[in-house]
Amino acid sequence: MLPVCMICLLAFSLLFSSCNSDSGKTAAGPALNLDSVKATIDASNKEYGACFATGDSVKFAGFYTADACINPPNMPRMCGTQAIMAFFNGGVKMGIHNIKLTVEEVMGSGDAVAEIGKYDLLGDKDVSMDKGKYIVVWKQVEGKWKMHRDEWNSDNPCPPPPPAEKK
């Protein structure tokens, strides 16, 4: 009886240890190199901001996934390529010529990462029109990182309310 118990115990311990072995891989494949992803995002951000100088709404929207949503301050959420292109065209009409994005942090794993950073909207002669912070969720689509969710807000104080009407 004892040898059968020993064999069962040995088989159980081998099975348990093989299930918990660390081979350095995850179910999704090798670990994500966040430094490499950050470098890719930095390069993408430079091209993204420069789209305003050329007025290229199609290229601008191409940095986003097809089902992306942006969450601009003081506006409703806007989703999809057409909405993002319309938002871009509104920015061009406002006089935006470039956006300088500074990545402060990238975190995540698998096919999604979050980018946290600062922005500076630039107008004529690179004069700052607005500064603030943002969070972007990036999603890997067909091997390429694209923005999937984008939200930002200004560091500038809100404008004062209009004066009350006298009666």
Taking only the tens place, the pLDDT of each residue in 99-147 is 999 999 999 999 999 999 999 999 999 999 999 999 999 999 999 999 9
Taking only the tens place, the pLDDT of each residue in 74-96 is 999 999 999 999 999 999 999 99
Taking only the tens place, the pLDDT of each residue in 9-23 is 333 333 333 333 333
Domain ranges of the chain: 31-152
What's residue 30's pLDDT? 62
CA distance 153 to 3: 70
What's residue 29's pLDDT? 53
Quick one: average pLDDT of 155-162? 90
Burial class of residue 20, CB neighbours in 10 A (0-12, 13-18, 19+): exposed
Give CATH for domain 31-152: 3.10.450.50
Whether 48 shows a pLDDT value over 90: the answer reads: yes
